[in-house]
Amino acid sequence: MSAVNDELMEVQDKGKNIKVDQSNQLDKSSLLNQTNDEDKELDGFAGFGFSEGLINTLSKKGYKEPTPIQKAAIPELMLGRDLLGQAQTGTGKTAAFALPLLERIDAKERHPQVLVLTPTRELAMQVAESFKAYSEGHPNINILAVYGGSDFRSQLYSLKKGVEIIVGTPGRVMDHIRQGTLVQEALQCLVLDEADEMLRMGFIDDIEWILEQLPDERQMVFFSATMPNEIRRLSKRFLKDPAEITIKSKKKEAQLIKQRYITIQNSYKLEVLKRVLELSFGEGVIIFARTKAITIKLAESLEAAKHNVAVLNGDVPQNLRERTVERLRQGGIDVLVATDVAARGLDVERIGLVINYDMPFDSEAYIHRIGRTGRAGRNGEAILFISPRERSYLSNLERAVGQAIEKMEIPTNEIINKHRIEKIKKDLLATASSETKNTTESTMLQEVIKQVEDELELTPQEIALAAINLSIGENSLLIDNDEGWINQAERFRKGNDRRDSRGRNRREHGITDKDKERFRVEVGHRDRVKPGNIVGAIANESGLNGRMIGRIQIFDNYSLIDLPKGMPPNIFKNLKRVKVMNKELNINHYS
């Protein structure tokens, strides 16, 4: 169960605490139930002094009102102040620093001006994508994500062409600084995102080294979900007269949203979608897709499969949008295929299921999507489709919603057939127990049944069976489709997802020594390697939580590290090629 949060915003400015109670606002637009009134103007964002290009971009993406962290942080960052912010994932902190920094970029200067450090490559890619999405109105700004495990040469080529914004993990950023390929003299701002996660993963020494390389005159921004002493120490050393912003949360009530995910290759997604929809008991369903073209394709496929479906994307005019939403509300439409922008502000109580057909843009988009179900205290369900490559993004989404997202198996023929039978039984019970609307019609139908019974010498049970077959139509009630692809997909998933059964449910407590085995990696003291370098590289590539990585011993020309037993072969193979300090780990079992 996840929690809806009331938030209290504190802005510390020159020793003064200014507290702004956000509870009334967040009762209307809490993290899981944002309503975002479509009739509101963009007064909040326009009030920051943003350029017309950025305002138009935000409008196209459906942004209406800034979140509390954005209201507090953006004015300070626009003024060039250092900032120390404490906020959870999903509160809008990426936009809080990305929007003002974009506005201050000089696109004529083809050199790095903003550096964002993140603990993992997945977060680096997400933040870089956010910058790219927000920069649509700034077409000459170039953004680059740099992280371990990717081709160094392609990053070098991009840097030589000219990049204004760099988002990266500490190890790879250090590599570029040491080799002189990331020129830091012109950097105007550094953002340390998820600073406490950096500390937990052992990056604190690397972070200090990077910060020491920066120009004296620069803006510095730290964001952290918690504020451990080490992060406080760093902020006192490197931040100059910072504005301090805290978004504090307290539990208000439980949300009845069951969240699950299915790992599936893209080629099977449509078939899985149809199978998942089979399990819906007639409540409204919203399917979120990434693009307008995908919404149309899905709607056509589902309509051919006899679903009552409609589309909601940016091309749908306002009057048609209103009619579509009303039909969904009244039950005239059961399945709505929508993009994120088009679904902003959608508030329909009968939505029982949200399907994320495509991975959401970021954690905030995921929170907004799943908030379309579970309305007014009702139960709701959200299902996320992810490809094996996207599997590592789950931890970011789980942190954002404050709960685990459970694994779901692809519905088999047996499960679907059982569900179809249950549905017929449920419909029969509901019809039999309902009051007769027209007694005259009822009397006539009873007479018809009596005539059929006499003429064909049928029993009441045989007549009831004939009536059910008549309602089913030409198609068979039970399906017997080929399930070979499901077994193939399951085997493929297990190869990428085996660590679920080992580590996900124990991430808060780590694993015991008996569950680990020792490995050797070919980097050591002579390579100037530190434990944080090794932990970060392995965590980034394998998706392992830092607590699952055990003792590290560093020798002159190699190191020993304890990792969970039974790592999938494909992950082990990838780890061999991972570079630390520009040298491949070449990991092997140590005996």
Query: What is the per-residue pLDDT across 139-163, written as a single tens digit (0 to 9) for each?
Result: 889 999 998 877 888 899 999 999 9
Confidence of residue 495 (pLDDT cuts 50, 70, 90): low
Query: Which CATH number is associated with domain 257-410?
Result: 3.40.50.300
Q: Which of 188, 198, 245 is nearest to 218 (CA)?
A: 188
- Quick one: average pLDDT of 255-280? 87
Q: Mark out the alpha helices in 79-228 (DSSP H runs).
A: 93-103, 121-134, 152-161, 170-178, 195-200, 204-212
Quick count: other Cβ atoms within 10 Å of Cβ 43? 10
Q: How far apart are CA 196 and CA 526, in angstroms?
A: 29
Contact 578, 148 (CB under 8 A): yes
Choose among 91, 85, 127, 169: nearest CA to 399.
Answer: 91
- The pLDDT assigned to 122 comes to 72
What is the tens place of the pLDDT at every residue in 23-73? 333 333 343 443 344 334 445 788 899 999 999 988 887 787 888 899 999
Q: Which helix (H) or strand (E) holds 340?
A: helix 340-343
Of the listed ranges 40-49, 204-213, 288-297, the least confidently predicted one is 40-49
> Rounded mean pLDDT of the chain?
79
Q: Same topology for domains 2-21+68-254 and 257-410, yes or no?
A: yes
Q: Looking at the predicted structure, is the pLDDT value of residue 183 above 90? A: no
Inter-helix orientation angle 229-238/204-212, to 10°:
0
Residue 89's pLDDT band (boundaries 50, 70, 90)?
low
Class of domain 2-21+68-254: alpha beta
CA-based angle 120:257:340, to the nearest 5? 65
> Which band of pLDDT confidence, cut at 50, 70 and 90, is reported for residue 326?
confident
Inter-axis angle of helices 394-401 and 363-370, nearest 10: 60
What CA–CA distance (Å, rounded) separates 353 from 287?
9
Question: In whole angstroms, what is the distance from residue 106 CA to residue 128 CA?
Answer: 18
Q: What is the pLDDT of residue 515?
A: 67
Q: Taking a C-beta distance cutoff of 8 angstroms, is the pair 282, 407 a contact?
A: no
Residue 344 has a pLDDT of 65
Q: Note the pTM of the prediction, 2 decimals.
A: 0.52
Quote the CA–CA distance of 478 and 320 in Å, as a whole number.
37
Is domain 498-589 given the CATH code 1.10.8.60 in the classification?
A: no
pLDDT at 301 over 70: yes
Q: Which residue has the higher pLDDT, 249 or 201?
A: 201
CB 135 within 8 A of CB 105: no
The reported pLDDT for the residue numbered 545 is: 59
AA letter at 266: N
Please state the domain extents for the chain: 2-21+68-254, 257-410, 415-472, 498-589
**Residue 206 CA to its chain's centroid (Å):** 28
pLDDT of 266 reads 84
426 — pLDDT class (breaks 50, 70, 90): confident
Structure tokens at 76: 């300070």
